[in-house]
A and B are shown apart, each in its own frame.
Chain A
Amino acid sequence: MNSLVEPKKWERFVWPLLATALLLALWHYSVAWTATKIFPSPLDVKKGIAELIRKKVLWPDIIDSLRRVAIGFGAATVIGIPLGLTLGWYPAANQVVNPVLQILRPISPIAWIPIAIILLGVGDHAATSLIFLGALFPIIVACVDGVSNVPSVYRLAGRNFGLGPFRLLTQVVFPAALPKIIVGLRLALGIAWLVVVAAEMIAVDSGLGYLVIDSRNSGKRYDLVVAAMLIIGLIGLILDTGFRRLEKIKSVRWGFRDDS
């Protein structure tokens, strides 16, 4: 297909739907042909979701997971943005902190689980602190990057109009860096959603991650495992789609490629 040709409106729905249907069919017949006793078919999973809803466990688990993400991601935002802006604003401070940041950054939040449990015990605090750690670094990095790439004409213009350091930061540097910061926040939210599932498998006894591990441990219910996995994917998609709407806000839209 020629990428220069705008897809017609119906095509934008029909092709993805067709691809999904094909995948479901492939899944269904693979299960049927291999006659596996472990892996559930799409129909089993559908029944599994219905069962979770009927037993009223699905909704509380979703709420628990979302609550932990909201707290961990929220705290990372509140702490990460000012910290990142400051580090971007003072390159000297950034040079001092950067080596430590760069060493901590590639460590998967999962690796912190033992330490989180020792320090905070098994429970919500351990889980939210892992999410916090996972989300914090991408936010800081995006802010530093955003601030240090603000074109110098904007800073010069701001100074020319007599802005002091605080106004310059809030009215020129922050809005100029905002598109990059939003990209960082979106990345961080995606990571938070990955981490919450992992953390719930180990540190707590509620949430979608716990649902996955508990479905296996109590009776090897793989239909419920896959059902929970699908729900996790679906909510992740909804979170990301919701966040992408921020990119359409007019005061940041200039920083994104106009691809709609």
Chain B
Amino acid sequence: MTKTKLQAEHIHMVFTRDGKTTSVLNDISLTVAEGEFVCLLGPSGCGKSTLLSTMAGFLSPTSGEVTIDGEAVHGPDPRRIFVFQERGVFPWLTVEGNIAFGLFHLTAAERHQRVAHYIKMVGLEGFEKAYPPALSGGMKQRLEVARALAVNPDMLFLDEPFGALDSITRLVMRGELLRIWEAERKTIIFVTHDIDEAVQLADRVVVMSARPATIQQIVNIDIPHPRDISSARYLELRDGIFQQIGLAHKI
């Protein structure tokens, strides 16, 4: 086993609102290795996004601790970037301006070179001076990924990044993300409620229960990339997760 990147230990999260307490996360423990691609899979509203925000340092757990590279997480950090659904791009900046946003500590020349590199990587050449309202949903999402990669983080947190895209764009984006991940080998934690998406992308799928979220099962996806999504092993793993979540595989 390679080096441990992230460790979540006995994470509990309880929200109090109007005097009512709601337990959202219940004793979550998870270890993620460096360079690993992990999907958090669960029904909508189960608390998987809360877990992701906790790992990213946006929220503090009620009890338990998240450590990254052995250090306790106390807040967000440019070494690990959170990618929201495409809503996270800044509409007042151009494509270039968005990608350069986190690069304020670099010289102009370095910044320019870095921006050009990532514009090319996500295929936004020709749109350097465009503003986000002029971009499609898929392009905005690629832009946000480029902005995240440009600061050279060692981890990415992706919160249902392709959820708002149409199904064709979503498939293309999954391919792009895998290509980028194979090139840069960041540790990726990816939240989704889409079982196929999880099995297509992840090294391991963490199956979570409805609220309060607990980890039901962790499934190793032992299929090398590129994955044949009609292979027997793929279908076997996917159907196993379907059953685990308690869904009949018929409509």
| Residues of A128-183 contacting chain B, CB below 8 A | 151, 153-154, 156-157, 159-162, 167, 171-172, 175-176, 178
Cross-interface CB contact of B132 among A167, A172, A254, cutoff 8 Å: A254
State in angstroms the CA–CA spacing of A153 and B93 once bound together.
15
B131 contacts the other chain (CB 8 A): yes
When the two chains form their complex, are residues A157 and B92 in contact, meaning their CB atoms are under 8 A apart?
no
Q: Is the CB of B88 within 8 A of A161?
A: no
A253 within 8 Å of B (CB atoms): yes
| Residue B181 is within 8 A (CB to CB) of chain A in the complex | no
Contact partner, B76, options A153, A159, A175, Cβ 8 Å: A159
Which chain B residues lie closer than 8 Å to A37 at the CB level? Answer: none
Q: Digit string of B62-99 for contact with A (CB within 8 Å is 1, else 0)? A: 00000000000001111001101001101111000000
Which of B129-184 touch A at CB < 8 Å?
A: 131-133, 151
Alpha-carbon distance between A176 and B89 when the two chains are bound, in angstroms: 11
Q: Which residue of A lies closest to B131 (CB)?
A: A250
Distance (Å) between the CB of B242 and the closest chain A CB?
32
Contacts of A251 in B (CB 8 A): 92-93, 131
Partner of A161, one of B75, B81, B84, B87: B81
Bound Cα distance A171, B78 (Å): 16
Scoring B81, B84, B87 by chain A CB atoms within 10 A of each residue's CB, the highest score goes to B84
Whether the Cβ atoms of B77 and A162 lie closer than 8 Å is yes
Q: Once the chains bind, are A157 and B131 in contact (CB under 8 Å)?
A: no
Q: A156-B58, A161-B101, A162-B102 are in contact. Are A172 and B90 (CB under 8 A)?
A: yes
Main secondary structure of the interface of A (DSSP, over half): helix
Cα(A175)–Cα(B98), bound, Å: 13
**Residue B56 at the A interface, CB < 8 A?**
yes
Contact between chains at A254 and B133 (CB < 8 Å): yes
Q: In chain A between 20 and 42, which residues have their CB closer than 8 angstroms to a CB of chain B?
A: none
- The answer on a CB contact under 8 Å between A160 and B81 is yes
A251 to B129, CA, bound (A): 11
Using Cβ atoms and an 8 Å threshold, which residues of chain A touch B87? 151, 153
Whole-angstrom distance from the CB of B30 to the nearest CB of chain A? 21
Residue of B nearest to A178 (CB): B92
* B131: chain A residues within 8 A (beta carbon): 250-251, 253-254
- A254 and B101 within 8 A (CB): no
Bitwise, A217-260 to B at CB < 8 A (1) or not (0) is 00000000000000000000000000000000011111100000
Q: Per-position contact with A for B93-111: 1 when CB-CB < 8 Å, else 0?
A: 1000000011010000000
Report yes or no: A160 in contact with B56, Cβ–Cβ below 8 A: yes
13 residue pairs from A and B, CB less than 8 Å apart: A153-B84, A157-B88, A159-B76, A160-B76, A160-B77, A160-B78, A160-B82, A161-B101, A171-B101, A178-B92, A251-B92, A254-B92, A254-B131
Interface set of B (CB-CB < 8 Å, partner A): 56, 58, 75-78, 81-82, 84, 87-88, 90-93, 101-102, 104, 131-133, 151
